[in-house]
Structure 1
Amino acid sequence: MDTPDLTGIRIIHRAMRGDLHRLLTLAEDLDAGRQRADAARAAAIARFTEDICAAIHHHHTREDEAVWPVIQRSAGAAVDLTDLSDDHSELDPLLDRVRLAARAFTSGRDGISELEATVRTLSEHLDEHIEEEERRIFPIIEQYVSAVDWKALEKSLQSGNVRFELAWVDQYADPDEMAHIRKIAGPILGLLLTLVRPGHRRRRRLIFGS
């Protein structure tokens, strides 16, 4: 049995964690007065936060509905996903709190403290969850799940926000990973990244200043 290629999910995990870390640092700076946000920047921050939350929600929901059943069927008694599923059940209330805080922030600076607090809680929870998932479950996937099954599952993890996910790949894939993905995807990936990159960079400059 060929070994599943976990490159894609590793990049997405890294991107979710990395963007939450960057968002938390920004919220801390705004709350402390080290940076300021006019209406346009505040709206961009809120929309960016919503996009991250939507991607995280889709990812963990598809793991529960599609990925976990295949792992359990393939690995049997070799895997217990109970605690990871419990972690997932805690995510949606956290995501809802972050969304509400982001929307409140657009109405004035007073909302930044709540956004900072909720993003910190979500980021810490997701860091711990992903570290545990990659440590315990990735070796199980590689040992028991077929490459064909994993490829089908990986497609189900894609959120449908293609531009956002391509921007994540462009930003968070290391050179070896990018070369690997380009080899699999072919020339179309380079074309898509070229189309997505300018808008993504403008958005990042507005939100993060770089």
Structure 2
Amino acid sequence: MTAQNSPATASDPWEMALIHRLIRRGFEQASAHVLAVGAATRAGAVAAYIGFHLDGLHAHHSSEDELIWPALRERAQLSTALISRMEEQHAGVHDAIETTRRELSVWTANPTTEASRSLAADLATIVDRLAEHLAEEEREVVPLIAAHISQAEWDHLGEVAFSKFTPQQRFTAMGELLEAARPDEAARMLAGLPAPVRVIWRLVGRRQYQRFMNSVRGA
């Protein structure tokens, strides 16, 4: 077995549970927004919300594929079968994402009742495929990340994933993270941000996120 990182370079990937909670919550709410009364009148905003979560899930998984699995293959050799299973699960989720993107385009152009039900079913497929994957990742992979991935590498993963969002989506990501977070998690997340970012969020980002969510909900 490859030696584990020393305690000085081990990481604390506490954000993984929060990110997974955001993902589960986001797709469950996306389905509810599609089926909500009046959704057809705000299809553009609802589609933007769903598109954000599709993009976010892809950003999360593609960043793991690029940075985490190669490192764990090298450093935690006994976990090759587990990592292969994670990659296979990612591929299954990716297929569901692409199917949902196509159905989302159909729904946005013509948000009929039938199209709404079809899109909601595709979103439910993503949730179903994520259920086993996210649970296993939290149970089996997060301890490997803590042992074999340095804090600098873990922080870099977050930066890479976040960089894949558009500037507007970054406000949505911040708002969705805070909505999914417990108070202690929210405080910890905000404390880890550079002061200028906290100021921008407080003065600009929070209001933009709330306006966006009001348009999604029809509030």
Question: TM-score, normalization: structure 2?
Answer: 0.84
Number of the residue aligned with 1:100:
102
- Tell me the C-alpha RMSD between the 2 structures: 2.0
Residues 20 and 122 (structure 1 numbering): CA distance in 2 closer, same or farther, change over 3 Å? same
Contact (CA 8 Å) 2:69, 2:83: kept in 1 or not? yes
Identity %: 22
2:207 to 198, 202, 207: 198
- Map 1:158-177 → 2, pairs under 5 A: 158=162, 159-161=164-166, 162-177=170-185
Matched, 1:26 2:33: yes
User: What is the CA distance between 1:169 and its match in structure 2?
Assistant: 2.3
Question: In 2, distance between residues paired with 1:140 and 1:38?
Answer: 45
Contact (CA 8 Å) 1:105, 1:112: kept in 2 or not? yes
Question: In 1, distance between residues paired with 2:208 and 2:193?
Answer: 22
Counterpart amino acid of residue 174 in structure 1: R
Flag structure 1 segments of 5+ consecutive residues without an equivalent.
none
Comparing 109-118 and 200-209, the one that deviates more? 200-209
Question: In 2, distance between residues paired with 1:148 and 1:199?
Answer: 31
Q: Residues 167-196 of structure 1, C-alpha deviation per residue, up to 9 Å, x if partnerless?
A: 222222221112222332243343132221
- Map 1:57-206 → 2, pairs under 5 A: 57-78=58-79, 80-106=82-108, 107-109=110-112, 110-158=114-162, 159-161=164-166, 162-194=170-202, 195-206=204-215
- Map 1:33-48 → 2, pairs under 5 A: 35-39=37-41, 41-48=42-49
Q: Residues 73-120 of structure 1, C-alpha deviation per residue, up to 9 Å, x if partnerless?
A: 222224531111101111222111111222211213131011111001
Q: Residues 133-155 of structure 1, C-alpha deviation per residue, up to 9 Å, x if partnerless?
A: 11110011112222233222332
User: What is the CA distance between 1:209 and its match in structure 2?
Assistant: 4.5
User: What is the CA distance between 1:22 and its match in structure 2?
Assistant: 1.0
Number of the residue aligned with 1:49:
50
Contact (CA 8 Å) 1:45, 1:102: kept in 2 or not? no
User: What is the CA distance between 1:52 and its match in structure 2?
Assistant: 1.0
Question: In 2, distance between residues paired with 1:46 and 1:78?
Answer: 38
Flag structure 2 segments of 5+ consecutive residues without an equivalent.
1-6
Counterpart amino acid of residue 103 in structure 2: A
Q: Secondary structure, in 3 states, of the residue corresponding to 2:32?
A: helix
Question: In 2, distance between residues paired with 1:111 and 1:124?
Answer: 20
Q: Secondary structure, in 3 states, of the residue corresponding to 2:76?
A: helix
Residues 184 and 138 (structure 1 numbering): CA distance in 2 closer, same or farther, change over 3 Å? same
Counterpart amino acid of residue 103 in structure 1: S
Counterpart amino acid of residue 193 in structure 1: W
Report the number of matched residues.
204
